[in-house]
A and B are shown apart, each in its own frame.
Chain A
Amino acid sequence: MKFLSKFYIVIIFLILYAPILVVILFSFNESGSLSNFTGFSLYWYEDLFRNDEALTALKNSLVLAVFSSILATVLGTLAAFSISRAKNKYYRRAMESVSNIPMMNPDIVTGVSMMLLFVGVAQFAKAGSYLGFWTMLIAHTTFNLPYVILSVLPKFRQMDKSLTEAALDLGCTPVQTLFRVELPYIMPGIVSGLMMSFTLSLDDFVISHFVSSPDFKTLPLYIYTQTAHEVKFSMYALCTILIFVILFLLIAVNVAGSMGEHRARKKAGKIMMGGK
């Protein structure tokens, strides 16, 4: 039984990670062939960094992800704050559901409707070339918003109301209370909302496809256009870099979190021993 369950887990992980491993492995393949691995080389990485178009796309993606995730986090946190403060129970529930619906919406629907909206507004404003960075920023911020609300709102709900009252009681104005007590309390929710937005934005293809222009291409869009002709092995290198960047981010966040806890516990232990 024990062997079987271990075997099962190995299989599951193999299925999950095999495609990624293949990409990583072949990004180092000298020959540029999928059928045989001829030798280790960094050729495709060099090739990638000589490719200005790919680098621009990477830069676009990162800029867009950073700005849209920060914007969505600020807006979403404020929204969660006011939803959690709403006195009327029915209004509060309605707001929660309404902010959740865009997450269920198929991307294709969101993408098409965004495009229609932008076209409509552009015609109304008689603007010429309108699709590009700004429309992408609006679109990405919009689809990130519900995820931020989803991760911040439960934190607000968990927070003991008397924490706020204690801060007021000790002399904080409502604004000071927000910055000194409420925000630190919900910070984990904000951070995870930010991370999620960042990766969602980096990753989005469908919605971006509808609201971008040829002169503002993000990485997924660029890779798609490349693969339409033939798969370049420098794309494998690019994917590998992305995988490691995201892996590094995840590890950093986790390590930072557990290090903080560990340090506090160690300190507490020292005092306890010293006190006795």
Chain B
Amino acid sequence: MAEVVKVCTQNFGKGAQDIEVYKKLGGYANISERLFEMSQFELIDYVQRSNLRGRGGAGFPTGMKWSFVPRNSGKPVYIVVNADEGEGGTFKDHFLMMEDPHRLIEGLIIAAWALGSRAAYIYVRGEFLPCIESLNKALNQAYAAGYLGENIMGTKFCFDIFVHRGAGAYICGEETALINSLEGQKGQPRLKPPFPAVSGAWKSPTCVNNVETIMSLPWILQHDPSEYAKMGTPRAGGTKVFCISGDVKNPGVYEAPLGTPMMTMINEYAGGVVGGKLKAVLPGGSSCAPLTAEEAAVATMDYECLASMKTMFGSGAMIIINDTHNMVDLLNCLGNFYSHESCGQCTPCREGTGLLHRILNLIVDGKGHDGDVELMQSLCGGFGGVTICPLSISLGGPVGSYTAKFRADFDEYIAKNPDHAKPRVQENYRPGIFW
């Protein structure tokens, strides 16, 4: 395994939670004359040339996102850090914030300089209280050292960072839902347009970026943008923090360049599959379509390759599944998850995810019936592109792909019902005496 440049995880295990250690490791070097002499436009151009793409899952080019933010609109510009990491299999932000909170702060100062932002909010999911403690400690140190607050390092630039604790809603990872949550409303996604870059939090321009995206900025600014761009694929620069979980020897967080072959990630970084033979890989978190062992053998971990294989790169969260597992059980997990996390706004998602979960439960309980799988596939057809946010497709997609690729697992479960082939009697439901 070749030595890889570590952009975000270089300080792991070095005690960089303390500002002195972080500074010794080269931290806050960017918050200097070099940054202060740059104009907003130059800095955004710099990030655009680095080819950095959002690391939250959608993979939107960061520089382009920033260039959409209207300048001199008379309204404040907000930066919101999306640390509401909740997708099954993703846990990089948790460790990034625990191990290196100062890098996030440094990255935020750079981003704020580029966007002219006065206040930034780090939206951390409620379960990550240790991360919030780590961030608050780091913020106290950064304020004491003069990196934050009024007139930073003697310039006219003022900037404050606030940590906002979420309270348990997966959907707040969607940027408009996150903004709603920040505004003290229910975390339900908004209709678009207007996009947050134009009218987001409190109707002001708002840039929502992932933790890892922001944490890549200090390295990019220290080096040449082309150096960062060179590390990845032509359309997405840099390294990526991969989360590998499931049936591997060493699950954990690994940083590798984009475009690394999937089997390299599994075998060399994570120590190989344990407990059986490789059955399937979810390459980008729980909501993506699984790859079979044959497909995984040829896949590389980047946006384009995985898109071409009808799955997605997402947040780079690989879940490795060995052949001792039945895919129905795992799909039932997802049914449980997504029907629980639907925000209850759009009809297909609100009622449909719950219905899918009930059908899946029946199959797992051995009460499945011929035609259930076809019905599920048909119901998922009703999800496609009709809801405000993609949560319904996050369940609809896997239902479609699991049933297509691992149909035998479903048939095995349905066969457990002795009456699975009997025609069902359609009983009319009559309400009781109360109506």
A associates with B: no
Give chain B's interface residues, CB within 8 Å of chain A. none
